[in-house]
Amino acid sequence: MAACIFCKIIKGEIPCFKLFESDKTLAFLDINPLSKGHALVIPKFHGATLTDIPDEHLSELLPVAKKLATATGAVNFNILQNNGRIAHQIVDHVHFHMIPKPNEQEGLGISWPQKETDMEALKALFEEIKPKV
């Protein structure tokens, strides 16, 4: 896609600090890092959300994120992938963040608004989703 910043990075039109590259995957340092070593792992296949990417273009993404975590020495880290605006996606090209969490102040800060479980509703949801998987 012509206007996609990540596609421009893939084509070499915009420079990056490349950490890994294969025929299907590119990983580079984030230019607006949340912590030291914050990197992005992207498929070279353009798609806005995870469901837009063929499985064969997804196979390297998590192994590369794992390599980056190991390379940075991160013991605590987040792997983050957002889909859609209300899920906080800004760039419309699938990307995984590998964000080291060296201490309480650096890295990704999140809250987890856990809700009380309605077991009957959970069972109904299970019965709805399971046949589709």
What does the buried/exposed string (b/e) look like for 2-30 if buried means 16 or more CB atoms within 10 Å of the residue's CB? eeeebbbbbeeeeebeebbeeebbbbbeb
Here the tokens at position 101 are: 């969490």
User: Which residue in 35, 95, 54, 101 sits closest to 74, CA to CA?
Assistant: 101
pTM exceeding the 0.75 threshold for the entire prediction: yes
CB of 79 within 8 A of CB of 98? Answer: yes
What values do phi and psi take at 85, rounded to 5?
-60, -45
CB of 6 within 8 A of CB of 42? Answer: yes
Give CB contacts under 8 A, 24+ apart, made by 15-19: 19/68, 19/71
Residues serving a catalytic function are 95
What does the pLDDT look like over 77-100, one tens digit per residue? Answer: 999 999 999 999 999 999 999 999
133 residues of the chain, pLDDT tens digit each? 679 999 999 999 999 999 999 999 999 999 999 999 999 999 999 999 999 999 999 999 999 999 999 999 999 999 999 999 999 999 999 999 999 999 998 999 988 889 899 999 999 999 999 999 9
- Kindly list the structural domains of the chain, giving each domain's residue range(s) and its CATH number in brackets, ordered by start: 5-132 (3.30.428.10)
